[in-house]
Structure 1
Amino acid sequence: MKRRGFVTLPALALASSQLPAPAARASAAADAAGFAAAGFESPSVVEGNMPVFAEQLKAELDFPLAWASRRGRNFGAWKRQARAKVEELLWQPVDRSPFDVEIVDEKARDGYRQRQVLFNVTRHSRVRATMLVPDGPGPFPAALLLHDHGAKFDIGKEKLIEPWYDDTRLVSARAWSEKYFSGRFVGNELASRGYAVLAVDALGWGDRGGLAYDGQQALAANFFNLGSSLAGLLAREDVRAAAMLATLPEIDERRIAAVGFSMGAYRAWQVAALSDDIAATVAACWMTGLKEMMVPGNNTLRGQSAFYMLHPGLYRYLDIPDVASLAAPRPMMLLDGATDPLFTPAGVAVAYAKMRAVWESQHAGHRLRTTIWPELGHVFVREMQDDAFAWLDRRLRR
C-alpha cells in the first residue's frame, strides 16, 4: 500500500516563520486559502493582533443601550439604565469609605497655596495628592485634574501640578510640560485664574509606581483573576476623588470641573459620566468611535496601556461616545488634533456626531463644544488651553 505523506500544522508554522516577511505573508495567505477550501479556518492567521474575523465581530456591535436606540423614552430613565450597566461592568463595588483627609504640607506661592494631602481614595488605598488653593475666602470653583498615560510612569500628578517637593520629579515634569503643554503646568495655570485644583496618581504612576510598560497587561490580567478590573479601579478612584473634592470647605461643590489630556481626557469624560459631582468637562485628545479605533496600526491593538480603558463587555451595549454622553446635558468641551496619530478623523467625526445628537435632543447643544485643531497632533498646547480655560470660565466663574 502506498504511504500517504502529510505535514503537521506546527511544521507549516515553522516553515512560514523562516521566510522573509513578504513571503511569510504570502505563505500565510496561501495557507488561509487552503484551510478555507478545506472547510475550516486556519488557527494561525492573526494580523496586527486582530483575529481574521474581527470585521464580523465589529459588525455585530449595534450598541443597543445608546440613546439613539432609545429615542422617545425618558432621558433620565435612559441615563439611569445606561449608567447602571457601566457601573456593573466596572467590576468595582461602590466605595463609601471615609475620606479622612489630612493636610501634611502647605506652602505659599504667588496667589495660591500649595498643599499635599492624604486621603482614602478607596477602602484599600490611602494616597498622597497635590492641591493648589487660591488665596482668599472662597468657596472656589475647582478642577479635578486627570493625568495622561504617555508610557511615563515616574510622574503622574506632577504632569499637571508643578512639584515643589521633589527635585528629580520636577526635572521630569518640566520636560513633560515642554513636550505636551507648551511649558505650562495646567494646574498652576488654573490656580492663577482662581480655581482650586486637585491631582492624584493613578495606580502605576508617581507615588504608586513600580510599573513598566510591558507589565501593564499582566497587572490587568491579575486584576481579572482577582475578580476585579484595572480599568474599573481607575474609574472608581476618579469618582471618589471628585466626591472628596466636593467635601472640602474651600470648594464650591456646584462648580467642579474634570480636566484631562490623552488618557486623562478619557478619564475626564468618564468621571463626568459616572459622577454627579462634575459640573463641566474639558477633554483634550481622547475621543473616537470604537469601531473606527479598532483599525490596523492603532495603538489600542497593542494591548498594554489599553487595559486602563478596557471594561470587559461594555461595547456590547454602548459605544465610547455613548458613555461620554451620560454626562449630558452638563457642559462638555472636547478638543482633538487633526493630525493626532492615535485617533482617526473618521473616529473623531463619528463620536462628535453621536454626542451632538444627545445634547441637542435635550435642547443643550450650546453646552457641547467640539473642536478639531488643524495642524495639531496629540498635544494640549497653549492656544488650546487658553480656549478651553476661557470656555470653562464662562461655565463656572461667577
Structure 2
Amino acid sequence: MIKNIFNIWVACFFASLCCVSSTLQAQEQPKSDVGNFYPLLDAYSSKNNSRLSYLSRNWRSVEKWRKTAKTKLNELLAFNPEPAPLNSEILSTTKREGYTQYLVRYNVNALQKTEAFLLVPDNITKPAPAVIALHDHGGFYFFGKEKHTLTDNQPDILEAYVQNLYEGRYYADELAKRGFVVLCPDAPYFGSQKLDPALLTDAKGYDKKVEGASESERIQIYNKQVAGPNEVAMNKTILTSGTTWLGIIAQNDRVAIDFLLSRPEVDPERIGCIGLSLGGLRSTYLFGLDSRIKTGVIAAFSTTYEQMLQQHAHHTWMMYVPRQYQFLDLPDVASLNAPRPLMVMNCKQDKLFSLTGMQAAEEKLSTIYSSMKAPENFAVKYYDVPHSMTIAMQEDAFAWLEKWLK
C-alpha cells in the first residue's frame, strides 16, 4: 500500500516537473503570428537566405551581380505572358487647371488590358520628365488609379478614403502641375481590372445585396464582401496556374514604361516611379527590376522578411513570392538598380510594419549604397503618422523627384 502511494507520488512529481518545463519553454519562446510554429520557420529561413544580396559576398562585378539577381527574381516571379502591341487608345479627355487628363487604355499582354490616367502638363515644348504613380491597396478594390488622381463626381466613400490616406490631396495631379507627365495605371484586381462578380461561381448574393443601395454602399459591399474575401481563392488559383500575383502586377507595371516611351511628351532618360503601401511595393519592384526607371520613391512599404516572419506577415496575398527570401530580401529588391537615386518614407505609427523592420531595411540599403560609393543617392525619412502619405510626405517626395529628374 505504502509502495503504491509512493509510486503515485513520484509519478505526480515528475508530471508536475514536465508541466513546469513546458510552461517555461512557452515563456522562453517569443510570441508570433504563427505561435509555436515560429521557431521552426525562423530556423528554416535563417539557413542561407538572401544569398543573392549585394551584401552576401564580395561581388567582383556590380553588373554581374545585378544581372544574376534580376534573372533569378524574374524566374521566381514566374510571369512571362505572350506580349502584344500596346494598341493604346484615348477614351476621354478632360482639361484641368495646368494640365490635361486623358483616360487611356492599352494592352499589357496578349490577354490583358488596363486603363490608366495620363496627365500632361500645359505648354510642353520639349520632352519632359515623367513619373509612374502606382496606387495603393487599402482593401479598396473598386477603384485603382482614382485613389490618387482627381476625378469628377466622386462618391463619398472615395473622398473619405483620399482624405484618410492622402490628407485629401491627389498627388498625381500635383505632380502634373509641377511639370511632370504622370501615368496612373490600374493594377490587376483593381479599377478597370477588378474582379467581376457576374463571373464568379459563388457571388454570395451580391446582386441582391446591392439592390437599392447607394453608390458608396455598393462600393463598400463590393470591397468587403466580394473582392476582399476572394483574394484567397485568387492567390491559390494563381499559384496553381504556375505564376505569382506579384509577377503579374510587376509585368503590368513594366508595360507602363513602354506606354510612356510611346508618348512624344516624355523624355526617356527621365522616368521615375512613386507609390504608397501596395504602391510602395510596386515601386520597389519596378525600380529594382527595370533600369529605365531613373529614380524611385517608396512610401510605407519597407521592412525585412526576418521581421515579418515573427509578426506582420498578414499583408495582401499580392506580395508573397515563394522562395524569394532564399535569394533576395525585400530591401535587396529595391537595391537592384543601386546606385540609382532612391527615397524611402516610413510611418512611425504604421501598424502594418514594425519600426525594427523599417530600420533593418534602412540599414541594409544604406550599407549597399555606401559600398557603391553613392550614399547621397539614398534617403530615408520617418514621419510620426499612421500608414499614409501625408501632404508633408508628398512634398518631400516631390522635392526628391525634382532633384533627380529635372
TM-score > 0.5 by shorter chain? yes
Q: Pick from 151, 166, 187 the counterpart of residue 181 of structure 1.
A: 166
Unaligned runs of 5+ in 1: 1-28, 37-45
The residue aligned with 1:163 is: 151
Q: Structure 1 residue aligned with 2:353, among 339, 343, 358?
A: 343
Q: 1:291 to 1:162 in 2, by over 3 A?
A: same
CA distance in 1: counterparts of 2:260 and 2:37, whole angstroms = 41
**C-alpha contact 1:155 1:172 (8 A) present in aligned 2:** no
Displacement, 1:268?
Answer: 0.5
Is 1:270 the counterpart of 2:285 in the alignment? yes
Alignment of structure 1 residues 242-281 onto 2, 5 Å:
242-281=257-296
* Separation (CA, whole Å) in 2 of partners of 1:133 and 1:173: 24
Out of 334, 353, 366, the position equivalent to 2:344 is 334
1:312 counterpart (310, 315, 322): 322
Q: Quote how far apart the aligned CAs of 1:51 are.
A: 5.4
Shift of 1:84: 0.3
Give distance in 1, aligned partners of 2:183 and 2:42.
42
TM-aligned CA deviation for residue 130 of structure 1: 1.0
Cα distance in 2 for residues equivalent to 1:104 and 1:147: 20
Partner residue of 2:372 out of 337, 362, 365: 362
Contact 2:93 2:103 in 1 (8 A): yes
Conservation of the 8 A alpha-carbon contact between 2:167 and 2:390: yes
The answer to whether the 8 Å contact 1:243/1:277 transfers is: no
Query: Counterparts of 1:262 and 1:69 in 2: how far apart (Å)?
Result: 28
Do the aligned residues in 2 keep the contact of 1:163 with 1:170 (CA within 8 Å)?
no
Change (3 A) 1:321 1:161: same
Partners of 1:229 and 1:101 in 2: CA distance: 26
Cα distance in structure 1, aligned partners of 2:150 and 2:156: 10
Q: 1:241 to 1:48 in 2, by over 3 A?
A: farther
**Equivalent pairs, count:** 351
Contact 2:81 2:110 in 1 (8 A): no
Deviations 1:343-385 (A, max 9, x none): 1111111111111111122221111111112x21211101111
- 1:149-196 Cα deviation digits (max 9, x unpaired): 1111111110111123xx3x5543322210011110010111111111
Partner of 1:109: 96
Cα distance in 2 for residues equivalent to 1:200 and 1:172: 21
Counterpart of 2:56?
Answer: 69
- Provide runs of 4+ in structure 1 moved above 6 Å: none
Kept after mapping to 1: 8 A contact 2:99/2:119: yes
Which residue does the alignment assign to 2:221?
none
Deviation at 1:55, TM superposition (A): 2.3
Give 5+ residue unaligned stretches, structure 2. Answer: 1-17, 26-32, 196-225
TM-score by length of structure 2 reads 0.82
**How many Å separate the matches in 2 of 1:151 and 1:188?**
23
Question: Which residue does the alignment assign to 2:388?
Answer: 379
Matched-pair identity in %: 31
Q: Distance in 2 between matches of 1:128 and 1:65?
A: 35
- Indicate which of 103, 113, 128 corresponds to 1:140: 128
For residue 168 of structure 2, give the secondary structure of its aligned residue in structure 1: coil
Please say if residues 138 and 250 of structure 1, whose CA atoms lie closer than 8 Å, have aligned partners that are also in contact.
Answer: yes
Distance in 2 (alpha carbons) for counterparts of 1:200 and 1:309: 18
C-alpha distance in 1 between matches for 2:157 and 2:292: 32
Say what the alpha-carbon RMSD is for the aligned residues.
2.3
TM-superposed CA distance for 1:33, in Å, is 5.4
CA contact (8 A) 1:162 1:170 kept: no
Contact preservation (8 Å) 1:258, 1:269: no
User: Aligned ranges for residues 198-217 of structure 1 at < 5 Å?
Assistant: 198-210=183-195, 211-217=226-232
Q: 1:222 corresponds to which letter in structure 2?
A: T
Q: What is the alpha-carbon distance in structure 2 between the residues aligned to residue 50 and residue 170 of structure 1?
A: 44
TM-score scaled by length of structure 1: 0.83
Q: Secondary structure at the match of 1:198?
A: strand
Would you say the 8 A contact 2:305–2:330 is kept in 1?
A: yes
Tell me if structure 2 keeps the 8 A contact 1:153–1:209: yes
| Greater relative contact order structure (CA < 8 Å, 6+ sep) | 2
8 A contact 2:297–2:344 mirrored in 1? yes
Shift of 1:96: 3.8
Matched with 1:18 is: none
